[in-house]
Amino acid sequence: MSTIESVEATPETPTKYYGFSSLVSGFGKMWRSFIPAFVFGLVNAIVQGALVLGDPTPGFDFLFIIGAIASMIVLWATFAILTACALGAAEGKVSFGDAIARVKANLVKYLLWTALLTIVYTIGVILYIVPGTIIAAITPFVAIAAMDGQSNPLGANFRVIGKRFFRWLITVIIVGIIIGVVWFFGLLNTVFIGGMAGSILYWLVFGFLGWWFLTSLALIYRSVESGSDSPAAGDVDVAQGSAE
C-alpha cells in the first residue's frame, strides 16, 4: 500500500517594490540602470545643446524645422530608454542590451501612446495650464504600461491609480512641486548661462529627474501590474492612506 505524503503549500513571499516612500525607493533603485540611462541622458543633453548653436529663430526656416525634428526624435528615444530602464530597475540590474531590447519589443505601442498623450497634453496646455497639468497628473503610468506591453495602457494606468490612490496622489504632488522649482531655476539658467552650456545643463538636470521619477512611478506600477495573483509587499492599503 502506497503512502501519499501531504505537502502544505507555502505561499511565495510577495516582492517589495518600495518602502515608505516610492520616491526614496526610486532614487535608490534607479542606479541599477545607470549605464543605459547615463549614456542616453548625456547624448540627449549634448544633442539638444548643439541644436541651439547659432541661436536659431523659431519659424518656417528649413534648418530650424530639421533641428526641431531632430530634437524631438532624440528626446523621444531618450525617454523611451529611460522608461525601459525604470521598468527593468524595479526588478533588478539593467544592461544596455536589456533596455534596447525592451524598447524594440514595444516600440510601436510606446510611440503611438506617447504621441497621443503629447497631443492631448499640448491641447490641454494651449487651452489653459490647469487642464494640461491635470491630464499629466492622471496619466503618469500610460507610457510605462505601453513600454511594459500592456494591451490597454490607459486601462492599466487607471487600474494602478485606483489601487494605489493615495500613493499616486502624494507622489504626483511632490513630483509637481519639484518640477516647478527646477523649472524656475531653469529660467534663471537661461538668463545667466544660456547658449549651448545652459542647454546642456538644463537637459542633464531634467534627464536626471525624468530617470528618477520614472523609476519611482514604475515601482508603484509594478506593485499592481506584477503578474502575481497576490498583492505585492510594496502595496499601500488605500484605507490607510499612507504618507509619501
How many other C-beta atoms lie within 10 A of the C-beta of residue 46? 16
Does residue 54 belong to any structural domain of this protein?
yes
Instruction: Determine the Cα angle at 135 with ends 200 and 89, to 5°.
Output: 55
Output the pLDDT for position 51: 83
Q: Which of 222, 216, 230 lies closest to 145 in space, CA to CA?
A: 222
Q: If you ran DSSP here, which 8-state letter would residue 93 be given?
A: -
The pLDDT of residue 6 is: 36
Q: Residue 112 domain-assigned? A: no
Q: Is residue 50 part of a domain?
A: yes
pLDDT in tens, 107-121: 999 999 999 999 998
Question: Under a CB-based contact definition with an 8 Å cutoff, are residues 236 and 164 in contact?
Answer: yes
Residue 3 resides in a domain = no
pTM to 2 decimal places: 0.82
Give domain status of residue 70, yes or no: yes
Q: Alpha carbon of 210 to those of 7, 62, 178, 206: distances in Å?
A: 48, 30, 11, 6
| Whether the predicted pLDDT of 17 surpasses 60 | yes
Q: What is the pLDDT of residue 114?
A: 94
39 versus 236: the higher-pLDDT residue is: 39
Q: Is the pLDDT of residue 168 over 90?
A: yes
Total structural domains within the chain:
1
**Over the chain, what is the mean pLDDT?**
82
Percent of the chain with pLDDT over 70: 81
Residues 218 and 89 sit within 8 Å (Cβ to Cβ): yes
- pLDDT of 181-230, one tens digit each? 888 887 776 666 667 788 888 899 999 999 999 999 999 999 997 633 33
Give the pLDDT score at 125. Answer: 80
Residues ≥6 apart with Cβ < 8 Å to 109 = 146, 149, 153
Is 189 part of a structural domain of the chain?
yes
Cell numbers 542590451 correspond to what residue? 97
Buried b (16+ CB within 10 A) or exposed e, 160-197: bbebbebbbebbbebbeeebeeeeeebeebeeeeeebe
Query: Is 123 a member of any domain?
Result: no
Distance, CA of 89 to CA of 87 (rounded, Å)? 6
User: Residue 110 has what pLDDT?
Assistant: 95
**Domain of residue 56, residue span:** 22-105+154-224
More confident residue, 130 or 230: 130
Could you tell me if residue 118 is inside a domain?
Answer: no
List C-alpha distances in Å: 208 to 31, 136, 161.
11, 19, 24
Instruction: Band the pLDDT of 64: cuts 50, 70, 90.
Output: confident
* DSSP 8-state class, residue 51: T
- Collapsing DSSP states into helix, strand and coil, what is residue 240? coil
* Confidence at 45, pLDDT banded by 50, 70, 90: very high
pLDDT given for residue 87 in this prediction: 95
Q: Which residue has the cell 500500500?
A: 1
In sequence order, the 6+-apart residues with CB closer than 8 A to the CB of 98 are: 36, 84, 88
Predicted pLDDT at 104: 94
Q: Look at residue 14 and tell me whether its pLDDT is greater than 90.
A: no
Spatial distance between the Cα atoms of 161 and 105, rounded to a whole number of angstroms: 25
What pLDDT is attached to residue 194?
67
Q: Is residue 58 predicted with pLDDT exceeding 80?
A: no
